[in-house]
Structure 1
């Protein structure tokens, strides 16, 4: 299969953002923010590139998964303990890209982000999986599993919990396989979709 995982560098941002845009094109939250498919197709790569470049790269939690030919098939954006919230400076830097991405839907995007942020756990010790996705071409190839295991192995070694939100109910069993459990349902306001908060305690080796 030849799956390999490594840290994202600045030169990888565009390709990794395209992979995530492909992975999230039919995501209920993304469809809510961009009801028009053409605008969503243009906006998603800009959103993910801005998030990665101005926030997640600095924390060292952006990773990509490649096939044996070096083609990026999956990407993940994690935040280390105490650093999940975007700084004011990072927000200022990313704002022009977000305006470009959302256009007149910027207020909707801000409302979604604010709702999800307000439900974030208060415990600062956790790693936060903000985004993970596999391109349509890489689906079923083990890229998502490799990305998950890469960071969860570190969480387990350091004895730290982890947290994510699943924007698809059908993905909950997938995350449960890695030890995550649903803790609450978050409802996007104004008739928006549901998002499921999931928490994972560090897994201990019973023979360790």
Structure 2
């Protein structure tokens, strides 16, 4: 069970992460909205624990950005902002739960488990053309037939599917490859994207990986115009 912990207080983040690990949750800590959105693009999390007072904005902005994305995980807001107005604001925006600091670790774990159970009933498959990805089982099919590329190509494909049709920065994809426990060479993303493109061209002619100049790559329907790089 994986939780994305979005908390800019590094000491508190470390203490929470250690407590959650003892409760059999694998905690990944990030410290800003930008880092959180990048982590959600390339990683798989059962729940997000989200602070509001982040260095680059109100944590609720993350909920605005992800609430309509297929497969978005449940979000528990954990913050010192606890007025009735602020709690209602978070819940009305789409938070699955709202907790006001300080909280006990036991209560946080119980609410994480509850949010995870609710999330399991609502996570759909992600479909693009003939390509389909089950976010729970991680099974990928093309036209209903299993598609199982090698691990590093699968890692890139999952990241691109979760973001589609938005582009994913090359640096984000490199970080995802690095998480597989082997050294990543300077041109690793290009090599594995090239191989994955060849497989998709052969087996899914209606889906293509596009290079977005100056940024990275995106997955789109074949023939869709490539957006301008930024």
Give the TM-score, by structure 1 length: 0.29
Q: Relative contact order (alpha carbons < 8 A, sep ≥ 6): 1 or 2 greater? A: 1
Greater helix share, structure number: 1
Give the TM-score, by structure 2 length: 0.27
